[in-house]
Structure formats: C-alpha cells, structure tokens
Chains A and B, each alone.
Chain A
Amino acid sequence: GDSVTQMEGPVTLSEEAFLTINCTYTATGYPSLFWYVQYPGEGLQLLLKATKADDKGSNKGFEATYRKETTSFHLEKGSVQVSDSAVYFCALSPRRAGTASKLTFGTGTRLQVTL
C-alpha cells in the first residue's frame, strides 16, 4: 500500500538557519504530494503541494520539488524564523481512477526554532 516516510524529529535550529526535512514515499502510479503544517493548538494547514514530477511547490519561503526518480519530496527553507516552529507532515494522495483522494501521512517532524 501507499506509505510516507519522514525524518524523525525534533529538529532544532537557530533563527535564520537553513531547513531541510526529508520525505520519501511509496505509491502505485504517480501520486500528488503535499506538505501540511500544524502550529501549536491549531489544525492542519496546507503549506504546499505538487501534482506531477518535477513540479515545485512553494509558499511562505518553503519549497519542495517532486522527484519521481528518487520518490522524494523534501521540504526546504533558506532562513527559518521562530514563527516556523510547528509540526510538519508530508502526505500523498493517489491519482488512480476509482480511488478516493484520501491522504496518507508521514509521522510528522517537529521543528523548533530558537533565537
């Protein structure tokens, strides 16, 4: 079945440091890929998405590129801020006809950014 593997956290960075959170997936066909973020006490928010190979999703300074050859969708940000402290979830959604677009999530990576 479909699965998503994320690097384990917590990840602790100083403000303005470079961020990478690794995500790899296993799926039949060519799924759509997502990053969701969960701030403390809040619900899941869509951060960015990519729907086909080599697409780059971007939002709020975060980027991720859909790499079919390595089945990866790593999240990056050039300079993190304290306000980026949250849990980040990588997820995929199948694009197979006759299948619901249900999301399969990774276990989440907690990011803590300090001054």
Chain B
Amino acid sequence: DTGVSQNPRHKITKRGQNVTFRCDPISEHNRLYWYRQTLGQGPEFLTYFQNEAQLEKSRLLSDRFSAERPKGSFSTLEIQRTEQGDSAMYLCASSFRQGSSQGLAGTDTQYFGPGTRLTVL
C-alpha cells in the first residue's frame, strides 16, 4: 500500500501530557498538510509544508502545537500540555505540486491518511 499512513491510529492520554503523531506521505509528494476534525464537523486546516519548509499555520494552531517535517519526508505533530478540547481526529494529507514556490497559482489534489484519533481524559 503506497497511500498516506498515520501512527498511531488511536491515542488516549491524560490532560497535561504531551503527545506526538506521525504522518508518512505518499513517497513522491512534496506537500504535506495537517487538519483537525471534530465530531460532526468537516476537517479544519492546521498547517502546511512544502518539502521541509512550514509555509502556513492556522490560528487554530496554538503555541502548544508544533509540527515538523525535518527531511521533507515524514512529518510529526506534537501537542504539549494536552487539554480536553484537543480531543479530535488529526488528519494528514499529501500532494504533489510542481515548482519550488507557493507563488504559483493553481491547485493540487490532496490524498488523506486514515487519521489519528486523540482522546484527552
């Protein structure tokens, strides 16, 4: 299977603990996105990487959240001092877009992983 993979699939933690999620994109994809989905809602954009550069962050991404993509391949999303309001499904998506700059107009098709469901007790 060469799709987007995410680990772990489920995470239960206590309030105040730190958690880290991993996303492995489709191998040739240079763009990687993180979204958060709460029950009964559509996914909401969190952040985006082009190769290893984090180019955009949503205001939803508080300073307790940090994301990295150190070698332009896999990415991690860390939440520090978790709160009950952080409980959600965290989705990763990847895509391929030619060109080195996000200055190019156009769109790319994003392929989603299965998500990591976080429950904060």
A residues with CB within 8 A of B: 4, 31-32, 34, 36, 42-46, 49, 51, 89, 91, 93-108
Majority secondary structure, A binding face: loop
Q: Give complex CA distance A39, B99 in Å.
A: 34
- How many residues on the B side are at the interface (Cβ–Cβ under 8 A)? 31
Interface flag for B22 (CB, 8 Å): no
Rounded to whole Å, the gap between the CB of B99 and the closest CB of chain A is 11
Q: Give complex CA distance A105, B42 in Å.
A: 5
* 23 CB < 8 A contacts A-B: A4-B42, A31-B107, A32-B107, A34-B109, A36-B112, A42-B114, A44-B91, A44-B112, A51-B107, A93-B107, A93-B108, A95-B105, A95-B106, A97-B104, A99-B102, A100-B48, A100-B102, A101-B31, A102-B33, A103-B110, A105-B43, A107-B41, A107-B42
Contact call B91/A43, Cβ cutoff below 8 A:
yes
Which of chain B's residues 27-54 have a Cβ closer than 8 Å to chain A? 31, 33, 35, 40-45, 48
